[in-house]
A and B are shown apart, each in its own frame.
Chain A
Amino acid sequence: MSSVLNDTMAAAEEGSIEEAAGPRRRRWREPKLLTGAGIVIVIVLFGLLGPLLTQDPYAVDNIGMTPPSGDHLLGTTQTGEDVLAQLAHGTRGSLLIGVMVGAMTLGLSAFFGILGAFVGGILDELFSLLTNIVLVIPGLPLMIVIGSYVEQKSIFLVAGVLALTGWAAGARVVRAQTLSLRDRDYVLATRVAGESTWRIICVEILPNLLPVLSSGFVFSIVFAILGEAGLAFIGIGASDSLTWGTMLADAQNGQALLLGGWWWFVAPGFLIAILGCGLALINFSIDEIINPKLRPARARKRSS
């Protein structure tokens, strides 16, 4: 009796009773992620390389409003500018705004979200108050107000306003997640080990926020491109560069619809829609990685 007991105890001491964990899962075979990434990569390549291969987007020709042909693959505008060249430069402009706003939003929401939640106390109250105020500042009226003061609105000004009005929602998500991470035992354990606050935030907490931060980054790119297109369309966008929004605004002003020049507005409209779709697909798959419950039942069964 006692020898059996001793054997079990010895076995338990050695840890041989415990089962080994399964192999690690692979995640990159997800069709949503592949499709989304494919779309985004093609559009980014077009934005990067397109302007080098096409003609001057502002070059005026006397053949205005011609449908797509061998000379002008996507037709021309009313003043004879090549739509494909405009589209290439517009893609570059829109993506630039998207990435700038995405980066600024990421920085602001991470700063206010993580620091407030981690430090707590009065700082958290202040940061939450600021976040809530910014959350209800509408971007469009602010842009109209700024637009009436600034004559030449650069692409950076537009990006700045979009970022300043767009970071708050992300900050609240990050704050909530940080609050839940802050009191996890593994964070407490690093405090017991004597790690500095700075290191705890950067090395222990930040990596676990990556899914939330990256999904916020992707979302803010979509938000920025759509927001810029909206601003440009009503005539208060960037006045120094081409974007998809300024193309749509020009098409509207050039009465493209009335004159039957569908190629002028369909091209940028299509790219906005397809990029939004691609980024949304990426975002969905990030969400599924964070929260496996969102995965379709069949996929879940296969992976478990």
Chain B
Amino acid sequence: MATLEVRALKKDFPVREGVRRTLFPAVKGVDFELNAGSTVALVGQSGSGKSTVARMIAQLERPTGGEILLNGQPATFRRRGMREYRSQVQMVFQDPFASLNPFHTIAHHLERPLLRNGRVRGKAALRARVEELLERVNLTPADSFAERRPHELSGGQRQRVAIARALAPEPTVLIADEPVSMLDVSIRLGILHLLARLQREENLAVLYITHDLATARHFSDEILVMYQGEVVERGPADDVILRPTAEFTRRLANAAPEPARTERFRRAAARYASGGDGDGDGDGDGDGDGGAEPSGAPGAPDASGTSGTP
């Protein structure tokens, strides 16, 4: 049985145009399953409804239609059922600079969910658990980080705290809504590897939302491509990237900048192969890449050697 199952999930947002009220369908019926120990990536461009799906699963938005089943039980918005659901389903937000309260210490951010779920009793035990969580996300020395406030931390460190906070209630499902898109390119990979490691250790079901196909392919088992509120393509990660069937997926894959496809790269490679003898050719257009507009290009290519060269 799937840990979390989403059936025909729909969300309409009311739009006010003067007196008239219309409904804007942000998500038009989405189905998928999240299973323990595996990652599903939800990719799509801005406004495709992927964040709305995440917010509905985290119960920050009420779905207009469809069902969310946690371990086969329908999710409820009533108080009692919600508490159990909340401790099972946690979320990491996109912007680490907005997701921590500037007024409170790091320890406060981690203590509250621990106390809320009643897993820890006593001050010493609480403190020990907070430091353990910080160590798990590689924020050491933990006792020094616990007493700091968010403004004393860098973006990557903040995102590690946000991940620790999501892990605090010992959830079974983790939703990561573009967890690295606001971070510096140099630390993105670290955060993604951390998430991957924690997923292995905790056997989490992860929903990884991104617009970066390269990391989606590398860090997930299954990819769902969303376009205008609908899933246009789904399948195992490599299949979706290497053999896209939907026109939109093909455009998205081509939009990612890939050095290997450019004319300049080929020339440079040829130069290295021939012994570094630059020939200064007269070929004018050096960097026209064969694909679509790079203006809509998602995140930067990462250094992990995963840029899906077909």
Give the B-binding residues of A (Cβ under 8 A): 2, 5, 8-9, 11-15, 17-22, 24, 184-195, 204, 207-208
Contact B193 A9 (CB under 8 A): yes
Contact B186 A186 (CB under 8 A): no
B95 within 8 A of A: yes
The residue in chain A whose Cβ has the minimal distance to the Cβ of B103 is A207
Measured between alpha carbons, how far is A191 from B117 in the docked complex, in Å?
Answer: 13
Given A194-B83, A208-B101, A208-B102, decide whether A21 and B190 contact each other with a Cβ distance below 8 A. no
On chain A, the residues within 8 Å of B90 by CB distance are: 192-193
In the complex, per-residue mask of B95-128: 1 if CB is within 8 Å of any chain A CB, else 0: 1001111111000000011001100000000000
B224 within 8 A of A: no
Contact A194 B101 (CB under 8 A): no
On chain A, the residues within 8 Å of B189 by CB distance are: 9, 12
Contact B156 A15 (CB under 8 A): yes
The residue in chain A whose Cβ has the minimal distance to the Cβ of B139 is A15
Contact A19 B82 (CB under 8 A): no
Contact A194 B103 (CB under 8 A): no
Contact A18 B304 (CB under 8 A): no
The residue in chain B whose Cβ has the minimal distance to the Cβ of A19 is B154
Measured between alpha carbons, how far is A282 from B100 in the docked complex, in Å?
Answer: 29
On chain A, the residues within 8 Å of B160 by CB distance are: 15
Give the A-binding residues of B (Cβ under 8 A): 58-60, 82-83, 86-87, 89-91, 93-95, 98-104, 112-113, 116-117, 138-139, 148, 151-157, 160, 162, 165, 168-169, 186-187, 189-190, 193-194, 197, 303-305
Q: Beyond A20-B154, A21-B148: 12 further Cβ-contacts under 8 Å?
A: A9-B304, A12-B193, A15-B187, A17-B187, A18-B154, A21-B153, A186-B99, A188-B60, A191-B60, A193-B168, A194-B87, A207-B101
Contact B156 A189 (CB under 8 A): no
Measured between alpha carbons, how far is A12 from B159 in the docked complex, in Å?
Answer: 13
Contact A193 B194 (CB under 8 A): no
Would you list 17 pairs from A and B whose C-beta atoms are within 8 A, ordered by A residue?
A5-B304, A5-B305, A8-B303, A9-B304, A12-B193, A13-B190, A18-B154, A18-B156, A21-B148, A185-B94, A185-B99, A188-B99, A189-B100, A192-B86, A204-B101, A207-B101, A208-B103
Given A9-B190, A185-B99, A193-B165, decide whether A21 and B151 contact each other with a Cβ distance below 8 A. yes
On chain B, the residues within 8 Å of A204 by CB distance are: 101, 103-104
Which 4 A-B pairs have CB atoms at the shortest separation, nearest pair first?
A: A12-B190, A194-B86, A185-B99, A21-B152
The residue in chain A whose Cβ has the minimal distance to the Cβ of B60 is A188
Distance of B259 from chain A, by nearest CB (Å):
15
Contact of B186 among A12, A22, A184 (CB under 8 A): A12
Contact B187 A18 (CB under 8 A): yes
Given A18-B157, A185-B99, A208-B103, decide whether A13 and B193 contact each other with a Cβ distance below 8 A. yes
Measured between alpha carbons, how far is A167 from B250 in the docked complex, in Å?
Answer: 59
Distance of B236 from chain A, by nearest CB (Å):
24
Measured between alpha carbons, how far is A254 from B185 in the docked complex, in Å?
Answer: 78
Contact A5 B303 (CB under 8 A): yes
Contact A194 B156 (CB under 8 A): no
Measured between alpha carbons, how far is A192 from B89 in the docked complex, in Å?
Answer: 8
On chain B, the residues within 8 Å of A193 by CB distance are: 86, 90, 112-113, 116, 165, 168-169
Contact A17 B99 (CB under 8 A): no
Given A9-B193, A17-B190, A24-B152, decide whether A186 and B86 contact each other with a Cβ distance below 8 A. no
Measured between alpha carbons, how far is A239 from B277 in the docked complex, in Å?
Answer: 100
On chain A, the residues within 8 Å of B139 by CB distance are: 15
Contact A186 B60 (CB under 8 A): no
Distance of B151 from chain A, by nearest CB (Å):
7
**Which of A13, A17, A20, A195 has most chain B Cβ within 10 Å?**
A13
Given A21-B154, A186-B100, decide whether A12 and B187 contact each other with a Cβ distance below 8 A. yes
Measured between alpha carbons, how far is A193 from B168 in the docked complex, in Å?
Answer: 9
On chain A, the residues within 8 Å of B157 by CB distance are: 15, 18
Contact A192 B91 (CB under 8 A): yes
On chain B, the residues within 8 Å of A8 by CB distance are: 303
On chain A, the residues within 8 Å of B193 by CB distance are: 9, 12-13
Measured between alpha carbons, how far is A280 from B151 in the docked complex, in Å?
Answer: 29
On chain A, the residues within 8 Å of B190 by CB distance are: 9, 11-15, 17
On chain A, the residues within 8 Å of B101 by CB distance are: 186-187, 190, 204, 207-208
Distance of A4 from chain B, by nearest CB (Å):
10
On chain B, the residues within 8 Å of A12 by CB distance are: 186-187, 189-190, 193
The residue in chain A whose Cβ has the minimal distance to the Cβ of B175 is A192
Contact B86 A185 (CB under 8 A): no
On chain B, the residues within 8 Å of A187 by CB distance are: 101
Measured between alpha carbons, how far is A186 from B190 in the docked complex, in Å?
Answer: 23
